[in-house]
Structure 1
Amino acid sequence: MLPPILEIYVVWHPGDGPGADTANAIFEHFMQGPTFSGVIGGGVQVSFRSAAWEGPGTPPRPVYSEANPAPNGIRPAKFVAVVPLLGTELAASVEDTNSAWHAYIAAIRATQEASTERFGVFPYLLSDGATSGTQLGSILGKYQLVAAGQPERHGEDVLSMLCRDLTQGIAQLISPDEMDRLTAFISHTKRHSYVEGEDVDALVDLVREVIGNTRLREYFDASDLQPGTDWDAALTYNAGTSAMLAIRTDLYSSRTWCQREVAIAKTHGMPVIMMDAIGFGEERGSFLMDHVPRVAVRKLDGRWQKKDVYRALNLLVDECLKRALWMHQRDLARERPELDVAWWAPHAPEPLTLSHWINARIEQGIDAGVEGDLRILHPDPPLGPDEREVLINYAQTTRLGRGVDIMTPRQLATRGG
């Protein structure tokens, strides 16, 4: 077990009715959904802070962090995200500047200001009057609200918006890469089959419209490539540094540049979500396009469905946070040399990414004269037996000179790792 990476504290007053349901939605997203279950246990935890700790009317237990560790000696998470649920009862309890609740909320702000790179505050407004002219608003008003405004009709609900905004904010807080705002690279083809007609253009426009309604930034070649720039270098750089949303229409998998963009994203370990929008069919497909999460995008009454696009974007943001958690777990594994992991693969290996990794090791010459299998660890779910066998057999045909042992954290744990 590695030390914890991220702990999310949801804070609300027990008198604010909607607080419990909102907190449970956050818990379910991070603790019970499939995305974050793939990282090593303890990678992300969600804790509630609501029930009185020292008698009726008192605040809950403290929020623990590296600056304020728990008294039992348990190591705090490397990163802490606090989600205050701003309701009228919380506002009333904080209004008295001498109250324990006022001190509790003020301590959250003080801790964040003293540890801006490790401690984030992401308030969510339960009641409109909670922050208007109140002490609560004075203390937490400097922080940007998550899920501010109304969700788009026929696109998503407020809890979907809340979880995406929160996930994005946390990903930007903990990402080892330089990141002010998540960028979605829209990979698409301008060509369409005779059956699709203008459907492809309509879908691309819808994707851009939906991204524009979120806090994501888009990279779209038609608008982001400036005259006089090296378009090859610009596309290559952005495909290797952005989260990719690939719009797979009938001709997408056959286009050279689309194949290249996906290959660049995969070999750089970037998140890729494939939007399956095939209208009639593909002549052959491409093995480069598979082995990534896919979301079906369909039409209803002649219109592409916004909810499908939102679902793809939400999954893309989740994958960004999972990648950041995985990278931090890789770094913390230096404290556990007995794990002996040669490659912390951010996604389950495939022939493309495995060959890229093997070639890099061969060039470095670090395996010369060394025997024994190299351990490759990737997030759950595990590869199937046949998939794993193909990769192991492939590695044996290369100049690597060593075998590979491919597993997930759960499989490693069963071996006592």
Structure 2
Amino acid sequence: MIDLLRLHVVWDHRSAEGERIAERISRHFDGIGMERDGVAHRVPVRFASTPWGEGSTMPRPVDLARARHNIVILLQDEEMFERRHAWNEWVSELRDRIAKRGGQDLYVPFGSPTGEPPLDQDATDRVQYQRRKKWSGLADHEARDQRLLLLLLICIREHLRKLAGKTNREPIFVSHAKADGDESARAIVDFINSTKDGLPLETFYDATELMPGEDYRERFESEIGRGTLLAIVSDVYDSRPWCVFELTQAKRRRRPIVLVDIGGRRTSRTFPYGANVPRVRVRPVPSDAGWIEPLLVEAMSEGLRCDLFEQQANEASPADTLVLPRPPELFDIIHRDRLPGRIVYPDPPLGDIEADLVLRALAAASPATRMMTLGEIT
């Protein structure tokens, strides 16, 4: 069985910190994005650290043949630097094999937290290392882990987008109500665009980013159609027509969506189609941006889950198929002028109550359309 995507974490076996981070990466990718009934999308993670055999200090070579796309994550530190000559040879051989696979794989090196220079061949080839020494000002291990996960997720999604021929970066569309969500939305946008943090993400915030004379509805539709929607769900969010437009437009375009619940008191009426997506509860602190990075990790994780599912489902399905990155709902059935012969969505199958409602709608709108999970056709 060939995996679509596999991660390999590489570190020196003497490094307790390298092992800790590798385990943290593994736990995160063991279930990314939306979870339903205890089932989440799993990306296999393999470790390369333990010496291969008697008298060896180096791990077994990474097996690149077991996945279509491999992401090799190097955790450089002072222990690796002590054996830099052996590691330089090991990594150079690995990079040669990656190059021979024609750009399908990605090498992601994270530099030493204590500032040791990159491995010699990487330095000669001008391979950029993520400078973890700059993270010393972050609050604690968890904050540094969140930074690493966020950058790793961004790298993976950008790599897969380029392989699919998509050259533009995917923006984070921050949907919010001006009345009580603007401060939180602005904090997220400012954090992403801060030169201090240097996150390789784009944002779309509101109409102030438009040029005079531009069709704002058309621009909003365009940005939502290529982006990940981060909806700041405040007390009045569901009652604002433009917020409802942005959320439903993201659903129409089958984009990744994460709801950010910052509600303070009560919502007089929730939008009926503002569900069926991940929701994260946060309490923004104006003086502390520590709540933002875990939120971005959630958004990028849901985005990667959607990316991987859609690729797998499109490859496994005939042409006349609607691929939904979320379980089907009435919204998906009713708003379309025509439904294809098949609807495919992520496992597990819908529960009886949800399935009954959707099947009744299908029977009325498109009786010939069949609904199934990806697991049922592969």
TM-score, length basis structure 2: 0.86
Change in CA separation of 1:206 and 1:387 when aligned onto 2, cut-off 3 Å:
same
TM-score, length basis structure 1: 0.79
Q: Could you tell me which residue of structure 2 aligns to residue 38 of structure 1?
A: 40
Q: Following the alignment from structure 2 to structure 1, what is the Cα–Cα distance between the partners of residues 104 and 130? A: 19
Q: Following the alignment from structure 1 to structure 2, what is the Cα–Cα distance between the partners of residues 113 and 216? A: 26
Change in CA separation of 1:247 and 1:129 when aligned onto 2, cut-off 3 Å:
closer
Q: Could you tell me which residue of structure 2 aligns to residue 391 of structure 1?
A: 358
Q: Could you tell me which residue of structure 2 aligns to residue 361 of structure 1?
A: 339
Q: Following the alignment from structure 1 to structure 2, what is the Cα–Cα distance between the partners of residues 31 and 405? A: 27
Asked if the contact 1:8–1:80 (Cα under 8 Å) also holds between the matched residues in 2, the reply is yes
Residue 405 of structure 1 pairs with residue 343 of structure 2: no
Asked if the contact 1:189–1:255 (Cα under 8 Å) also holds between the matched residues in 2, the reply is yes
Alignment of 1:226-305 (within 5 A): 226-298=211-283, 303=286
State the identity %: 24
Asked if the contact 2:76–2:111 (Cα under 8 Å) also holds between the matched residues in 1, the reply is yes
Asked if the contact 2:112–2:133 (Cα under 8 Å) also holds between the matched residues in 1, the reply is no
Count of aligned pairs = 368
Asked if the contact 2:2–2:67 (Cα under 8 Å) also holds between the matched residues in 1, the reply is yes
Change in CA separation of 1:34 and 1:272 when aligned onto 2, cut-off 3 Å:
closer
Q: Could you tell me which residue of structure 1 aligns to residue 134 of structure 2?
A: 149
Q: Could you tell me which residue of structure 2 aligns to residue 203 of structure 1?
A: 184
Whichever residue aligns with residue 367 of structure 2, its letter is G
Q: Could you tell me which residue of structure 1 aligns to residue 329 of structure 2?
A: 350
Q: Following the alignment from structure 1 to structure 2, what is the Cα–Cα distance between the partners of residues 146 and 170? A: 18
Asked if the contact 2:233–2:263 (Cα under 8 Å) also holds between the matched residues in 1, the reply is yes
Shift of the alpha carbon at 1:91? 2.4
Give 3-state SS (helix, strand or coil) of 1:78's partner.
strand
Q: Following the alignment from structure 1 to structure 2, what is the Cα–Cα distance between the partners of residues 262 and 147? A: 36
Change in CA separation of 1:320 and 1:179 when aligned onto 2, cut-off 3 Å:
farther
Q: Following the alignment from structure 1 to structure 2, what is the Cα–Cα distance between the partners of residues 299 and 244? A: 18
Shift of the alpha carbon at 1:401? 2.6
Q: Could you tell me which residue of structure 2 aligns to residue 81 of structure 1?
A: 71
Query: Deviation string for 1:304-361 (max 9, x for gaps)?
Result: 8634433321110001111111122124426xx7xx994332111111123345x333
Whichever residue aligns with residue 301 of structure 2, its letter is D
Whichever residue aligns with residue 363 of structure 2, its letter is Q
Query: Deviation string for 1:246-303 (max 9, x for gaps)?
Result: 1112222122221111111111111011111223322322112221111112256xx4
Query: Deviation string for 1:186-216 (max 9, x for gaps)?
Result: 11122x2xxxxxx533222212223234332
Q: Following the alignment from structure 1 to structure 2, what is the Cα–Cα distance between the partners of residues 30 and 311? A: 14
Query: Deviation string for 1:38-78 (max 9, x for gaps)?
Result: 34xxx62111111122432342121222xxx3xxxxxx211
Give 3-state SS (helix, strand or coil) of 1:13's partner.
coil
Structure 1 spans left out of the alignment, 5+ residues? 70-75, 193-198, 368-373
Asked if the contact 2:51–2:59 (Cα under 8 Å) also holds between the matched residues in 1, the reply is yes
Asked if the contact 2:153–2:304 (Cα under 8 Å) also holds between the matched residues in 1, the reply is yes
Q: Following the alignment from structure 1 to structure 2, what is the Cα–Cα distance between the partners of residues 24 and 404? A: 41
CA RMSD of aligned residues (A): 3.0
Alignment of 1:125-204 (within 5 A): 125-131=111-117, 135=120, 138=123, 142-145=127-130, 149-150=134-135, 152-153=138-139, 157-175=143-161, 176=164, 178-190=166-178, 192=179, 199-204=180-185
Change in CA separation of 1:299 and 1:159 when aligned onto 2, cut-off 3 Å:
closer
Q: Could you tell me which residue of structure 1 aligns to residue 297 of structure 2?
A: 314
Query: Deviation string for 1:132-155 (max 9, x for gaps)?
Result: 6x5265267513427663264499
Give 3-state SS (helix, strand or coil) of 2:312's partner.
helix
Change in CA separation of 1:162 and 1:51 when aligned onto 2, cut-off 3 Å:
same
Bigger CA radius of gyration: 1
Change in CA separation of 1:147 and 1:266 when aligned onto 2, cut-off 3 Å:
farther
Give 3-state SS (helix, strand or coil) of 2:60's partner.
coil
Change in CA separation of 1:290 and 1:130 when aligned onto 2, cut-off 3 Å:
same
Give 3-state SS (helix, strand or coil) of 2:134's partner.
coil
